[in-house]
Structure 1
């Protein structure tokens, strides 16, 4: 029985591997096939798999002072199976994140925010670490799962590794040394400076004021627009892109510009964006918090939105179908692509929403990339009911329809450094079906270079 099960499993994996490689979806193979299959076979063939996806987080009041990590509360009856349910308890003075060591010094986040405690399915021998919420700044020591212990506690006196070892310390010593030796300090300077400053000999660049100085980055401080250019841009779009079927639902002097394109992206392009979202893996959307001393912007689970998202980077951006969408947006807006963030790929299931918010934060006006000035939102699926984009301050709603797009400004025509409060918007709950979309956010200044040096809050 066992041999037959294992044999069948290997046949399935062989077929799935061939299909995934042919499609270029190796990440999908790992997350959607290999991990579940390994979990099924675990009692028969052993081995380690990733922590279970299903996690129950218990939120309660924050308590405690800074302490050192230690494990506590051992079980009276150790489980015989290597598959084990454990609890991670946070007694530190602030919320934390939890990371799992996928391979040596390769840590992935499994819980973005632990206020009190979290239950997790894992395996004996797996290693975890607590970090400051939304960052990779480790607190205390790593913990290794043992069969005799079901609760692992971060006590009140735990100290961040950066406070113990000093600021210019590699977070992952073995991995950092290897990455630096392979040229990653030049290839991915932002991530490496923030996480591996010692190996990159870049201690002075830990200070974001030095690292992100526009003169050092060789980027202009000028806004892409002068006063009056916003209106000219939208007037040109309405005039020159009739083939995309633009409709101005709102325009000056009665309100801000709001253009819907009824025919903006093809079915193939829509399906490529959706496929990449699943390949990369949709994760619960987060909100941005404050920046720490290294310029990392903390991430916390959002209470205002319940969607999931993935970021279209590297292989996704190089997909010819995705590239063609970028090129079309660039042609329409006449703003170079180096002003764009990577596509944020979105998924809204039934009941999911994003409460009223604004895409431009006034505090970003002094950032190296400047503020967001335009949002180009792409609808890449039909929705049976609900899921409209709502603009409550101008009393307009845009229904999602596959292949369409909506464009609006986040700033004012008379002063493109200032937020236009009329373009606050919300994603209304999906009532029936699934909503897939993609956000293209466009900045006042070059975004790509500051983002490469971890000057936009994101350290990817």
Structure 2
């Protein structure tokens, strides 16, 4: 006979992801400057005027210094999937510390959970196709990431400039497309309230068609990063 009993699949870091979710949800819901994007399938928030024009210009200059062709995790390479330029900042840089702390405070999270800020530059035609920010435990890279802070919880993305055309952050499962606007912080929970991965957070950096796009991303883990 075939055993048809349902087996429970253990989700790595589920309880920690649920706990982090509650913390950020409470902080953002209490922040009058935070706008909750209307959808019942995911938790997405935006805060306008998060950075000044001068801060955006400074960070754009920093991205230009460190940017190199973007890469993907081993085992996930696909031609033309991610064609932007990417650069990791120096975690000890004064500006990086200041902006990181500001994001930490907005989300109500300890900086220990946050990865070092990463800058991305998109030129005409460049994009990052549909993907999830959370890790897939079935992939080989998970062995390292499990020890390196575990699963990604929230994503915080800072738009540094207005893009002349294209370059939206699209959530195809939600029917939502967010145009980049300088100084705006966009953040979302990569998990559901129960701590399981939220597949509806599938998203893409759509192709820039005119001008350029500069963004900063800071991912938060379920445990201390690094």
Once the two structures are superposed, what CA deviation does each residue of 1:89-138 show, in whole Å capped at 9, x if it has no partner? Answer: xxxxxxxxxxxxxxxxxxxxxxxxxxxxxxxxxxxxxxxxxxxxxxxxxx
Query: Tell me, which stretches of 5 or more residues in structure 2 are unaligned?
Result: 1-11
Matches within 5 A, 1:177-326: 225=16, 227=18, 230-231=21-22, 233-239=24-30, 241-242=31-32, 245-251=33-39, 254-280=40-66, 282-290=67-75, 302-314=79-91, 317-319=92-94, 321-326=95-100
- 2 CA distance for matches of 1:347 and 1:445? 29
- 1 CA distance for matches of 2:46 and 2:13? 29
Once the two structures are superposed, what CA deviation does each residue of 1:331-363 show, in whole Å capped at 9, x if it has no partner? Answer: 122221121111110000011111100000131
Instruction: From the superposition, tell whether residues 227 and 348 of structure 1 become closer, same or farther in structure 2 (CA, over 3 Å).
Output: closer
Alignment of 1:433 onto 2:207: no
Q: Is the 8 A contact 2:17 2:191 kept in 1?
A: no
Count matched residues. 209
Alignment of 1:370 onto 2:150: yes
The alignment's TM-score, normalised by the length of structure 1, stands at 0.43
Once the two structures are superposed, what CA deviation does each residue of 1:236-276 show, in whole Å capped at 9, x if it has no partner? Answer: 3131x32xx3211135xx22111111121122221222111
Once the two structures are superposed, what CA deviation does each residue of 1:10-52 show, in whole Å capped at 9, x if it has no partner? Answer: xxxxxxxxxxxxxxxxxxxxxxxxxxxxxxxxxxxxxxxxxxx
- 1 CA distance for matches of 2:14 and 2:112? 13
Alignment of 1:352 onto 2:126: yes
Larger radius of gyration: 1
Matches within 5 A, 1:4-43: none
- 2 CA distance for matches of 1:229 and 1:355? 27
Task: State the partner residue of 1:389.
Answer: 169
Q: Is the 8 A contact 1:362 1:419 kept in 2?
A: no
Instruction: From the superposition, tell whether residues 229 and 322 of structure 1 become closer, same or farther in structure 2 (CA, over 3 Å).
Output: closer
Once the two structures are superposed, what CA deviation does each residue of 1:218-249 show, in whole Å capped at 9, x if it has no partner? Answer: xxx9778464652452243131x32xx32111
Matches within 5 A, 1:320-339: 321-339=95-113
Query: Tell me, which stretches of 5 or more residues in structure 1 are unaligned?
Result: 1-220, 291-298, 449-460
The alignment's TM-score, normalised by the length of structure 2, stands at 0.84
Tell me which of the two structures has the higher relative contact order, counting C-alpha pairs closer than 8 angstroms and 6 or more residues apart: 2
SS of corresponding position for 1:272: helix
Task: State the partner residue of 1:128.
Answer: none
Instruction: From the superposition, tell whether residues 301 and 275 of structure 1 become closer, same or farther in structure 2 (CA, over 3 Å).
Output: farther
Instruction: From the superposition, tell whether residues 222 and 347 of structure 1 become closer, same or farther in structure 2 (CA, over 3 Å).
Output: closer
Match of 1:409 among 189, 200, 203: 189
- 2 CA distance for matches of 1:394 and 1:351? 24
Q: Is the 8 A contact 2:16 2:223 kept in 1?
A: no
Once the two structures are superposed, what CA deviation does each residue of 1:309-341 show, in whole Å capped at 9, x if it has no partner? Answer: 111125xx422x332211111112222112111
C-alpha displacement of 1:384:
0.8
Instruction: From the superposition, tell whether residues 376 and 224 of structure 1 become closer, same or farther in structure 2 (CA, over 3 Å).
Output: farther
C-alpha displacement of 1:301:
7.3
SS of corresponding position for 2:37: strand
Matches within 5 A, 1:419-458: 419-448=197-226
